[in-house]
Structure 1
Amino acid sequence: MRTSAPVSVIVSTFQEGGLLAETIASVESAAVLPREIVVVDDGSTDRSCEREWPPRVRVLRGDHVGVAAARNRGAQAASQPIVVFLDAHCTVDGRWLTPLVDALEHVPDALIGPAVRDSSDTRFVGCGAEIVDALLTYRWRPATGAALDEVGLVPGGCLAVGRDQFLASGGFAAFTGFGLEDVELGLRWWRAGYPVLGAPDSVVTHRFRTLPPYRPEEQAWLQNILRTALLHLSGPQLQASVMACSRFSTFPGAISTVLSESWVPTHQRLLASEVRATIAYLDRWAPRAFGS
């Protein structure tokens, strides 16, 4: 008999075509079911959300606002105490939810990610990630063992968190386009003193793509890097990140946009309230990114 868990699975989607339906079917076929699935249609025009969905699926429609804002909208609409954000191009193992729910019952203030298998090379399974360069690019850590383990980042393809704490923290930052929302959240979570964990017993297969099914927005990506750097870095590390961004042709527009925003109060608030210092994070989880 299949059981259900007190989870809202939130799938934000933009131009995912048939992959969205495959992702929902995978979640619906698992041995442990979420109590609801919230699909946030981020302004798709490919009609991928226009179908008959199972009863536990709710579809929220809206304009294209980017993955961070779409996921926040899903979390606000969620009815369950645990939210699991899942990309719309994944398949899940039968009991993928159980380790995530069990972990949050024991460590309720944690940010937790599963082991993630590459659909094109199933020999590789990663669990958590660390930052590898000044553009805040991350690299997966190989999944080892079965126990919960501290990680530097939980990549946004799948992450689980208590809904109330996620919303109280401000949710994902107000980023545009795609990218870095998971990096910024991980840094903010770690600095606040909360656990960032990998749960290797939970397995999700992810379709990693060279290009998404829509035109990438380089300036939006750069803006998200710069926003993250300005909020969390200082001194030589901040300088290195800005200089790395400056190599791109869209840098002038990106930096002028970000500097015109009200980022200083947030930077000061994060600094005043941090439990663990950013430099300690970089020493442990980004030792090669900034030459530390």
Structure 2
Amino acid sequence: MPHFEPLNRLETDGKFFRYGDQRLWLRCVTYGPFPPGKTPDSAVEFEKISQAGFNAIRTFSLPGPEFLDAAQTAGLLVFAGLSWRHYEDFGARPRLLSSAKIQLTEWLGDHASHPALTGVYVGNEIPAELARWIGPDRVRRVIESLISLGKRISPHLLFAYANYPSTEYLEPGNADFSAFNIYLEDRAPFTDYLRRLQNIAGDRPLVISEFGLDTARNSQQRQAEVFTWALETSYLEETAGFTVYSWSDLWQNNGREVLDWDFGLVDRAGVPKQALSVCQSFEPPSISKPSNSYSIIVCTRNGAERISGCLLAIRNLVGGPYETLVINDGSTDDTATIVSEKFPGVRLLNLPPSGLSAARNVGAAAANGNILAFTDDDCEPDREWIVRLDRAFKNPEIDAAGGPNLPPVPRTVSEAVICSAPGAPSHVLLSDTRAEHLPGCNISVRREAFEEIGGFDPVFKTAGDDVDFCWRLRDAGFQLGFVPGAFVWHWRRPSIQAFLRQQKGYGIAERLLIKKHPERFSATGEARWDGFIYGGGPVRAERDSIIYHGSMGQAGYQSIVNRMLPLRPIAPKFRSPRSEALLKLVNFLQPLLRRWSRNRQLRFILPHRHDRNSPEVFHEFHIAINKRHFSRDSILEDLLRSGWNAAGPTETWDLKKDGDKLLLATEILDHEHINLLFRIAGNHTNLESQLREQISGN
């Protein structure tokens, strides 16, 4: 178990983490909170945790210096938790958020420089009913405000929010990684959900921030069996880390010791359970050489400033060396000299100016591999690019595969704006594992499939070739797989002017696509995709998002209903009124220029907004009750029996009756009492008294 050097810090590395110069998969375990008088000796426990194979611990509070010192001694990274009253209506009580910000500010001021401290969770599982009550977009912005505060004070730390399936839509746009608490006891649903979460996370790493099984209701053997496949699945599905819940059966909630749940790897007396040995013995599957032969094809024209970075990244790919071909498509700069002199192992093919598709076809014809992997000269593939793609091709149903193309950390305001603007090369997903489109900068294909459809169409000189290629693959019955961890770093255009010129070029390419595939476009020239267009940003609630809450907000998995996944937010370092204004300008010009180049139209398409001209008038009140006597679900059932009807699954109300509407949420006051929060709209002035009478009558 390595002891971490204090000079290094954990950093994000695309969809993963890096510690120093090594990629690190987090093996984390939650620790505490413990009942009063029963807190174990941290120094002793941390040594046991380290010996069990863990490299990090997660707490649900902000620890003190002795705690952090003990973690450092044991070689453990610490993810602290900001504990604040987010289980109350903080939308109506701003002081709750203010108190949380003061707490975070003071604690970071005292402890942020500690070498063991790695990250901070600014919240954990805000209840779905309360998020719905306050408003999903508003709650998300509160979470983001805490993350922004933490980043301003301690930019070297990682910040996130521990989400859960009932509030998928609360993903903060500015978190360093996506974190989800998941409790699924069967492998197939767990695997499927991880694949979904990879796309909800967007460009950033995905961490399982809690996973466990209760041995009060299951056997220790069952717990061990579940951890056996959960650890392996999490690693194979390309998460950046896995967090076991929890280290000990000793824990408390709302000030009371919990005695009827036993999620620990050790029992209340500290005796290890079978699952502890499973965690200790787990070894991530080793990265083996690909089972297929790969030829990497890079097409370039005047790429002298870019080609070295691309080829150096290819040279460092795990599992290689790989046959690499550079197709020099009529360059007039030093591209050919750089490739031949600095990269003698690369096959260089020089062509007269022929166009991108023709160059790719020449490369495919000259390649020897049975898998043809294409990327561009402005891309730098992640070192595990090919070995992760190869996992997809082990499935005989997959004929082509690719992953995300991620923008590197921006260096200027212009780069930051371009990274957040629409119009970048994107994949389009039909499902969490199947693609409708993979961009040409990150697509690999079996040679037989490539040859059967005749390769790329030479009519496409600079763009559009990959769209046509993927459509023809699918029309021929071939399957395109999506691999979230097989990413390439893709440098965007260096200036706003260059980016807008690129968009004009895309419009010209779309004109060719319309001519060849008219059935795939609308009358205004917009592509008709069957799948979801990837935007790079995490999937999150915005002001006009339509959210599936389920009947009366009771769905276990609540998600956003949309077709276009959110774009990346502007990098925090460059976020300012100027950059936000520049992004708005680019967002206005990009579709305009692309549409004009495509079909000489200057139609302005305004974004859809829900009708907010006539907001509903509603009344709110609350009733404090003993939670042992009532629950939200039982009250809703009583109201249904009294003549109310459930509202629709995407509505913001729970119940309807004769024109009246009702929303019900609860907030926790203490371990025995809750507040029932009622929001009512309608014409009945006596509705509040009726509800109060009905509750008191029960």
Normalising by structure 2, what TM-score? 0.31
Of the two, which has the highest radius of gyration? Answer: 2
Which residue does 2:435 correspond to in 1?
151
Residue 28 (1) aligns with residue 312 (2): no
Equivalent position amino acid for 1:78 in 2: A
Tell me which residue corresponds to 1:115: 404
| 1:187 aligned residue | 471
Q: Alignment identity in percent?
A: 23
Equivalent position of 1:203 in the other structure: 487
- In the aligned structure 1, how far is the partner of 2:489 from the partner of 2:469? 22
Deviates more, 1:89-98 or 1:61-70: 89-98
The alignment of Structure 1 onto Structure 2 pairs a total of residues equal to 237
Determine the structure 1 residue equivalent to 2:426: 140
Deviation at 1:189, TM superposition (A): 1.7
**CA–CA distance in 1 between the matches of 2:406 and 2:513?**
27
Indicate yes or no: 2:393 matched with 1:104. Answer: yes
Secondary structure at 1:49 match in 2: helix
Whether 1:233 and 2:522 are equivalent positions in the alignment is: no
On the 8 A contact 2:427/2:439 being kept in 1, the answer is no
Alpha-carbon deviation of 1:2?
8.8
Residue identity in the other structure for 1:156: G
> Bigger shift: 100-109 or 194-203?
100-109
Deviation at 1:194, TM superposition (A): 1.7
What do residues 234-279 of structure 1 show as CA deviations (whole Å, max 9, x unaligned)? 39x45322xx7xxxxxxxxxxxxxxxxxxxxxxxxxxxxxxxxx9x
Q: 2:354 aligns with which of 58, 65, 68?
A: 65
Q: Is the 8 A contact 1:108 1:162 kept in 2?
A: no
Partner in structure 1 of residue 529 of structure 2:
282
Secondary structure, counterpart of 1:178 in structure 2: coil
Distance 1:17 1:31 in 2: 25
Contact 1:20 1:48 in 2 (8 A): yes
- Distance in 1 between the 2:315 and 2:395 partners? 26
Distance 1:157 1:283, change over 3 A: closer
1:204 deviation in Å? 1.3
1:169 to 429, 444, 453: 453
Indicate how the Cα distance of structure 1 residues 119 and 234 shifts in structure 2: closer, same or farther if over 3 A, else same.
Answer: same
1:12 correspondence with 2:296? no
What is the CA deviation profile of residues 15-43 of structure 1, one whole-angstrom value per residue up to 9, with x for unaligned ones?
Answer: 11131011111110122225310100000
Indicate if the aligned counterparts of 2:325 and 2:346 stay in contact, CA closer than 8 A: yes
| TM superposition shift of 1:57 | 0.9
Residue 172 of structure 1: CA displacement? 0.9
Letter in 1 for 2:446: G
Instruction: Give how far 1:150 is off.
Output: 1.4
Matched, 1:56 2:345: yes
Give the CA RMSD over aligned residues.
3.7
CA distance in 2, matches of 1:197, 1:40: 26
Does structure 1 conserve the Cα–Cα contact (< 8 Å) formed by 2:288 and 2:387? no
Is 1:42 the counterpart of 2:326? The answer is no
CA contact (8 A) 2:318 2:387 kept: no
Q: 2:379 aligns with which of 90, 103, 106?
A: 90
Aligned-pair CA distance for 1:65: 1.2
Deviations 1:195-228 (A, max 9, x none): 1221112121110115698x96999755532332
Greater RCO between the two (CA within 8 Å, min separation 6)?
1
Contact residue 114 and residue 159 of structure 1 kept, 8 A: yes
Alpha-carbon separation, structure 1, partners of 2:396 and 2:352: 36
Confirm or deny: 8 A CA contact 2:293 2:369 kept in the other structure: yes
Equivalent residue for 1:272? none
How many Å separate the matches in 2 of 1:175 and 1:198? 27
Q: CA deviation at 1:138?
A: 6.9
- Asked if the contact 1:118–1:205 (Cα under 8 Å) also holds between the matched residues in 2, the reply is yes
Q: Report the residue type matching 1:231 in the other structure.
A: K
For 2:381 and 2:424, how far apart are their aligned partners in 1?
23
Judge conservation of contact 1:177–1:220 (CA < 8 Å) in 2.
Answer: no
TM-score, length basis structure 1: 0.68
Runs of 5+ unmatched residues, structure 2: 1-286, 412-421, 534-562, 565-590, 592-604, 606-698
Deviates more, 1:13-22 or 1:80-89: 13-22
**Maintained 8 Å contact 2:303/2:377:** yes
Q: 1:115 to 1:285 in 2, by over 3 A?
A: closer
**In 2, Cα distance between the equivalents of 1:73 and 1:101?**
23
What is the rounded CA distance, in whole Å, between the counterparts of 1:171 and 1:2 in structure 2? 30
